[in-house]
Amino acid sequence: MEIYVVQSGDTFYAIAQRYGLTTAQLQAANEIPDPAKLAVGQALLIPTPTAVALSYTVRSGDTLYQLAQLFGTTVSAIAQANSISNPAQIAVGQVLTIPGWSQSQYTVRSGDTLYQISSRYNTTASLIARVNGIANPALIYPGQVLTIPQPGTAAVTPTSIESIAYFQISGISRLEQSVAQLGQYFTYGALFHYPVSATGTLTISANTQRAVTALWNQNVKPLAVITNWGATGTFESELARTIMSDPAVKSQTIANTLALLNSYQFAGVNVDFENMYPEDRPLYNSFISDLAAALRPRGYTVSLAVAPKAADLPNASWVGAFDYATLGSLVDLVFIMTYEWGWVGGPPMAISPINQVRRVLTYAVSQIPAAKVMQGVPLYGYDWPIPQTPERLAATVDLVNVYTLATDYNAAIQYDTTSQAPWFRYTDTGGQQHEVWFDDARSVTVKYQTAQEFGLRGVGFWSPINQPYGFTANWLIFDERFNVSK
């Protein structure tokens, strides 16, 4: 697939025409809220049409040798592709299939030149003229349908991976809709969340059975996400310490987790304890060891969500409690939250900058087998008020309607090449300035290439909402690059 970045003056119709697509095909790949409104700098995924072999009509004076030279192939290859027994004998008007080449159609518009058209398709004006029998390349006319020759490109070889998608169990109807639509892309569905109390009890959502059934119906393995989420509405350090340090509470937590998995037919657990005290690292290692010892022999998958870091940093807040090497040896898979560099408290920046992601993964695979590591991909953006201060938090934006925000305020989308992320600024009707960072077709492509490069077990997705769950182009790119193991 190809990615096209919208330029000033572009229209949805003209872009579709340029690539030989209908507007419906282009819209299906990009889910544009209003195709009449495009933002300059917006990335559009160009779906690859089914390849049509290039047909060439023999003209007076042609020989197979000349055609082989023209198309960078051999006489024997052309002869074999067309069942020609005597390569010295071809007839004027004979239609030949050119091996290794495909063709598309382009309808000439007013103002077009053959040179401009050839530049768009990365070919030459002379080759287009030759294929179409145009004696004078300067003479083309609006409405003329041209055959555009294109050399075959190496197809992306899909990598077999596993994937994990986090869903908000509170939004059950939207969860069911997204899983029905996208379930083919997920190995595991992690239901967020089941908070653990200071006595080791779990808060179990009334939506649990519906959510588990929805996942199994799409052959997605449900995981119960247990957390140290407390009454303050956040991850609590003291709560985590109580759960892990009191032997009775720890035993009760493990017993209740096992009961939850048994009662609702979960495939396993995902532990998402965050904001732990760095000095509680041994407690966390011990808790995970005991949990894995209770669950893994019973056939349950034991997985973790861990904060990202590019070195051990045992005394650092937020990340110090995570002993990558020990934890990786105890569990089946480790989901690394490679996002939130840009966070609601600011300052504005890429949420998942690829330069930082690569630093984290380089360290992670030195401590944990790559076959256990999953790279986190954020399916959301942030909109910060400018100037940003600690008390002025960013608003979350989804990756479909972010373009409505840009077009409503006539903002041009920029692309930061260091972080490999799109962003834009706008001023709202009240005069408040904003800065928005998010992900698009370009940035997720780089993330998937990175996962392939590091040979990871796979990738995982975090979204604060169940619908839209990401954006359409993301799943087309993901599908092109990966075969998801179930």
Q: How confident is the model at residue 438 (pLDDT cuts 50, 70, 90)?
A: very high
pLDDT in tens, 100-115: 898 888 888 888 999 9
- Do the two domains 1-51 and 163-484 of this chain adopt the same fold? no
CATH 3.40.50.10330 for the 163-484 domain, yes or no: no
Q: Are 284 and 321 within 8 A, CB to CB?
A: yes
State the sign of the Cα–Cα–Cα–Cα dihedral 75, 76, 77, 83.
positive
Sequence-distant (6+) residues with CB within 8 A of 3 are: 43, 44, 45, 46, 441, 442, 445
- Average pLDDT along the chain: 95
pLDDT at 454 over 70: yes
Ordered by start, the domain boundaries in the chain are 1-51, 52-151, 163-484
What's the token pair of residue 480? 């092109």
User: What's the distance, CA 377 to chain centroid?
Assistant: 7
pLDDT in tens, 70-88: 999 999 999 999 999 999 9
Tell me, what's the pLDDT at 329?
98
User: What's the distance, CA 368 to chain centroid?
Assistant: 23
Q: What integer is the mean pLDDT of 49-53?
A: 72
pLDDT at 47 over 80: yes
pLDDT at 222 over 70: yes
Tell me, what's the pLDDT at 156?
65
Q: How confident is the model at residue 155 (pLDDT cuts 50, 70, 90)?
A: low
Q: How confident is the model at residue 346 (pLDDT cuts 50, 70, 90)?
A: confident
- The percent of residues above 70 in pLDDT, for the chain, comes to 99
Across 17-21, 31-35, 277-281, the highest mean pLDDT is recorded for 277-281
pLDDT at 66 over 80: yes
Q: Which of 6-15, 216-225, 259-268 has the lowest mean pLDDT?
A: 6-15
Q: What integer is the mean pLDDT of 454-465?
A: 98
Q: Which fold has domain 1-51?
A: Membrane-bound Lytic Murein Transglycosylase D; Chain A (3.10.350)
pLDDT at 171 over 70: yes
pLDDT at 193 over 80: yes
Tell me the residue length of the chain: 486
Tell me, what's the pLDDT at 21?
86
What is the Cα–Cα distance from 288 to 444, expressed in whole angstroms? 32
What is the Cα–Cα distance from 243 to 448, expressed in whole angstroms? 36
pLDDT at 153 over 80: no
pLDDT at 13 over 80: yes
pLDDT at 256 over 80: yes
Tell me, what's the pLDDT at 429?
96
Q: How confident is the model at residue 1 (pLDDT cuts 50, 70, 90)?
A: confident
Closest alpha carbon to 451 in 472, 405, 482, 406: 482
Tell me, what's the pLDDT at 51?
67
User: Three-state SS across 52-87?
Assistant: EEEEEECCCCCCHHHHHHHHCCCHHHHHHHCCCCCC
pLDDT at 364 over 70: yes
pLDDT at 384 over 80: yes
What is the Cα–Cα distance from 29 to 39, expressed in whole angstroms? 17
Tell me, what's the pLDDT at 151?
84
Place of tokens 């006539």: 410
pLDDT at 476 over 90: yes
Instruction: Considering only residues 451 and 153, tell me which one the structure prediction assigns the higher pLDDT.
Output: 451
Place of tokens 């490999």: 420
Q: What integer is the mean pLDDT of 238-252?
A: 98
Choice among 274, 340, 391, 435 that is catalytic: 274
Q: Are 441 and 43 within 8 A, CB to CB?
A: yes
pLDDT at 154 over 60: no
Tell me, what's the pLDDT at 49?
65
Per DSSP, the three-state class of 251 is helix
Q: What integer is the mean pLDDT of 122-143?
A: 92
Tell me, what's the pLDDT at 106?
84
Is 480 an active-site residue? Answer: no
Tell me, what's the pLDDT at 50?
62
Q: What integer is the mean pLDDT of 139-165?
A: 86
What is the Cα–Cα distance from 77 to 67, expressed in whole angstroms? 11
Q: Which numeric CATH code is attached to 52-151?
A: 3.10.350.10
What is the Cα–Cα distance from 350 to 335, expressed in whole angstroms? 20
